[in-house]
Amino acid sequence: MIPPTSAAIAQQAVPTTAEVLSASTAEANLKNAAITAEVSSTVQKGAETLATETAGAEKPAAAEDANIPKDIAGTYTGDDEKLITALISQFSAAEPLTEEVKVLISDAVATGTRDMKEIYKIAASKAAPKYDMSKRYFNYKRLNVLLAGILLFLFINYYTYSARKGKDMFIRKIGGLAAIDEAVGRATEMGKPVLFIPGIYDMDDIQTIAGVSILGHVAKKTAEYETPLLVPCTRSLVMSTAQEVVKESYLKTGRIDSFRPENIRYLTDDQFGYVAGVDGIMMREKPAANFYLGVFFAESLILAETGHHVGAIQIAGTAMVHQIPFFVAACDYTLIGEELFAASAYLSREPMQMGALKGQDVAKFLIIIVIVLGIIMETAGYHIFANWFATN
């Protein structure tokens, strides 16, 4: 075999011009493709970032617009009614006064905008630091209520402390309560029982509680005079409570042997079925003294008329305004409204109850003075006093 010459070897090792140009073109094409791909990727990322930022900016704007009532739209024409109503309802937890809202709207209009939505946004943003209670622990618009509560607390504690120290507390005479001894004494003299009706509501009503409290005092008198006491009830829990109260009263007077639990009985939950049962007891037993103390409705006059028919002395008391006239017309004595709730303190003279009663009376007296002063100042054209006492 003949070896290749050096010239042939050199010719094979050196590429031709065409081959060099072809390789350079291919390399340039690859670089251009890589650059194009990189630029495309960068542009795509930039577009995605821009879209995300735009969406993020649009969401708060959309949420902001969603909080604006639908009727707040268009150009501002000077009519503030819709804006006032919308702004007051937005801050209902600490409702601003109409005059204050008008000032906020005026400030918003002064910025130069006439768009209703923009005016609403500006006014709401200015009102938020003062009226948005969602980020605050204390509502300064209710400061008057706090001061009233503190004053009432101080009054009650002062009079309770004074009562415990033995200071004599004056309570005006309440005719119906002063007549309890007379009524029980009359029944004793006639040899007839005493009938006590604690209303037709359950023990979750404050009037029933007040009536049962008075029952304890009446039971002490019937125990002292050894007079039968009848207590028909329309609720089983009232019956159980009345039995315990009467038993305790008989125990305190040392006449526990005279206690008759069967005289404190449950009749029925039905309103007029109960009335029929009580009327039957009245006609059979002929009580000489009837007490109606608690919640009453249409049965009030039926009971009072039957009691009048049997000749009983009758003492009634209720806070049901629509039944008071019937008791006043048909009974000998009537406790009107709060006299029923004051009865326990009036009869027991217990320091805690006396302090609460006197403290509340002083607070009511101050409220009357404030109302009179408010009327005078409003008549004179000074509204600061009324605005401060407005509960929002």
pLDDT in tens, 128-174: 666 655 656 676 667 888 888 999 999 999 999 988 888 888 888 88
Residue 223, pLDDT score: 94
Question: Mean of the pLDDT values across residues 9-22?
Answer: 52
pLDDT of residue 43 exceeding 50, the answer is yes
pLDDT of residue 175 exceeding 90, the answer is no
Residue 9, pLDDT score: 46
pLDDT in tens, 132-141: 556 566 766 6
Q: Which of 104-113, 205-214, 372-381 has the lowest mean pLDDT?
A: 104-113
Confidence of residue 61 (pLDDT cuts 50, 70, 90): very low
Q: How far apart are CA 58 and CA 203, in angstroms?
A: 59
Question: Mean of the pLDDT values across residues 352-380?
Answer: 89
Residue 312, pLDDT score: 94
Confidence of residue 62 (pLDDT cuts 50, 70, 90): very low
pLDDT of residue 73 exceeding 90, the answer is no
Confidence of residue 203 (pLDDT cuts 50, 70, 90): very high
Residue 5, pLDDT score: 52
Confidence of residue 315 (pLDDT cuts 50, 70, 90): very high
Burial class (CB in 10 A: 0-12, 13-18, 19+), 92: exposed
In degrees, rounded to 5, the angle at the alpha carbon of residue 40 between the alpha carbons of residues 38 and 46 is: 105
Residue 81, pLDDT score: 72
Q: How far apart are CA 217 and CA 54, in angstroms?
A: 79
pLDDT of residue 200 exceeding 80, the answer is yes
pLDDT in tens, 255-288: 999 999 999 999 999 999 999 999 999 999 999 9
pLDDT > 70 fraction of the chain, expressed in percent and rounded: 73
Residue 188, pLDDT score: 93
Q: What is the pTM of this model?
A: 0.64
Q: Is pLDDT larger for residue 107 or for residue 281?
A: 281
